[in-house]
Structure 1
């Protein structure tokens, strides 16, 4: 076990960095599991277009992005213990009825390991347009979709009347093995509020100041408390670097971080695990 008992470590498979070779994906997942990493995250982009940028990095439109849910089913078959996650699943671009079935299927077949599902609303208008979604409605769509997912996973019958989705006595079986947590990813106060109101955790991203980062966590916790939810039950996940030091991890822990996600090669993961006494 890591000496940093307050913080768990996970890793991610980034197709634009690791490629899309199935043997490489399986090998990295198995290696991360052997090293003691808690979970493996997969990102999502449903469409590419010229000029897409993630911060300072441009993502060429020809970059292949694997479907994260299909990938997690593949990873589940190649591993035994590692938790499965998305970072992030673009929730407004999925219909929650079909999505509920797909996610529950992965959870059942992995024996309850889909515990790091993280959803976001998307940042690129062109990507929303490619799937016929009004970009300006994506936040409201995400809110409704979370509510619909939870209703369907309760076993049914699910009845719902919203702005975007309507259900009447719908069943979706099988249901996940126990509660399937939904973490909310983002870099805005709106995302933090969504996490506090509807999520099991907040996965903070983006390039924001330390002051804004702290304020967003406060917003998530305050929103949870106002909604009658336990703010202390919210998990707080952040991206880290594969070469981060013990002091950097301690600083994250002092900020309330409960999970750090790093990405790297198999050698990088081995060195990281050795540095923090994992496994």
Structure 2
């Protein structure tokens, strides 16, 4: 089992010294990865289900945050949980992600993408909320096309993006393309992971039986598309204070990575978790 940790700027703030100390502590404790979330913009009344988001929450740009983290760490992998893919143009996004991967020497490897659940956010970005799933699917294809393309350029004519003989450099560090994991709580997200993803990261507000159903759907979709379902990574949320035996239980369900969310940025929680699960061993 691999263990990631999340840093939420709405919860922990955007103090650069605090972020650096947190990232270095997580790396020193043996955490595999550090994840950050995204909202491009908020507005009064924005809500996800019954949970209203205060419009003053300081969501930092996730790729800027990860670049900053990469500059102050050596080994920890960089992840998004999740990057709202419909609100990014794949041509510029391919460049930004490859640049981070090169500068971090191959650590931008846990990009996890989702659709976003706020209609007002989609309107602000000029995106049709109802079409954001199709837009994300096409963006994944264009990202991989740009990363893998050579000096002759690549072309794509689709519903949302039209590129003609484009060359995108630099390439990812020592790799033909970057992994793209898919996050979400819907059947559509599970199918997207099976068809296009390198992994699946289901949402946190699901009952255990719902999560299991989505994971099986992702695997079945992959198999139906001629892909190897065993090649899909399976990431789940985990509690920093999870009970004994929970890790083994999740591993038996096929989970390959747990991402925990500490309540504070103080190192005590991270040290205790690392000792408990022998992360530094």
Normalization by structure 2: what TM-score? 0.95
Which contiguous aligned blocks of 4+ residues in structure 1 show a shift greater than 3 angstroms?
53-58
3-state SS of paired residue (2:245)? helix
3-state SS of paired residue (1:223)? helix
Q: Which moved more, 1:208-217 or 1:41-50?
A: 208-217
Aligned to 1:4: none
Aligned to 2:172: 176
**1:115: Cα distance to partner?**
0.8
Contact 1:118-1:185 at 8 Å conserved across structures: yes
Aligned to 1:223: 221
Distance (whole Å) between structure 2 residues aligned to residue 254 and residue 56 of structure 1: 32
Q: Structure 2: which 5+ residue stretches go unaligned?
A: none
Contact 2:48-2:117 at 8 Å conserved across structures: no
Q: Indicate how the Cα distance of structure 1 residues 270 and 52 shifts in structure 2: closer, same or farther if over 3 A, else same.
A: farther
Given the alignment of the two structures, is residue 121 of structure 1 paired with residue 111 of structure 2, yes or no? no
Distance (whole Å) between structure 1 residues aligned to residue 252 and residue 187 of structure 2: 21
Contact 1:160-1:168 at 8 Å conserved across structures: yes
Q: Which moved more, 1:247-256 or 1:102-111?
A: 247-256
Work out which of the residue numbers 51, 73, 76 in structure 2 matches 1:79: 73
Q: Which moved more, 1:220-229 or 1:207-216?
A: 207-216
Aligned to 2:140: 146
Work out which of the residue numbers 159, 162, 169 in structure 2 matches 1:163: 159
Distance (whole Å) between structure 2 residues aligned to residue 117 and residue 94 of structure 1: 13
Aligned to 1:191: 189
Contact 1:155-1:173 at 8 Å conserved across structures: no
Aligned to 1:259: 257
Deviations, residues 199-234 of structure 1 (Å, cap 9, x unaligned): 000011142222221110011101111111110000
Distance (whole Å) between structure 1 residues aligned to residue 258 and residue 159 of structure 2: 36
Aligned to 1:131: 125
- Number of residue pairs matched? 273
Aligned to 1:213: 211
Distance (whole Å) between structure 2 residues aligned to residue 186 and residue 77 of structure 1: 29
Distance (whole Å) between structure 1 residues aligned to residue 48 and residue 104 of structure 2: 31
Normalization by structure 1: what TM-score? 0.95
3-state SS of paired residue (2:156)? strand
Contact 2:48-2:118 at 8 Å conserved across structures: no
Distance (whole Å) between structure 1 residues aligned to residue 11 and residue 49 of structure 2: 16
Given the alignment of the two structures, is residue 238 of structure 1 paired with residue 236 of structure 2, yes or no? yes
- RMSD between superposed Cα atoms in Å: 1.1
3-state SS of paired residue (2:272)? helix
Q: Indicate how the Cα distance of structure 1 residues 34 and 16 shifts in structure 2: closer, same or farther if over 3 A, else same.
A: same
Given the alignment of the two structures, is residue 110 of structure 1 paired with residue 104 of structure 2, yes or no? yes
Contact 2:204-2:237 at 8 Å conserved across structures: no
Contact 2:78-2:109 at 8 Å conserved across structures: yes
Q: Which moved more, 1:23-32 or 1:208-217?
A: 208-217
Distance (whole Å) between structure 1 residues aligned to residue 182 and residue 126 of structure 2: 23
3-state SS of paired residue (1:127)? helix
Matches within 5 A, 1:21-40: 21-40=15-34
Q: Indicate how the Cα distance of structure 1 residues 13 and 222 shifts in structure 2: closer, same or farther if over 3 A, else same.
A: same
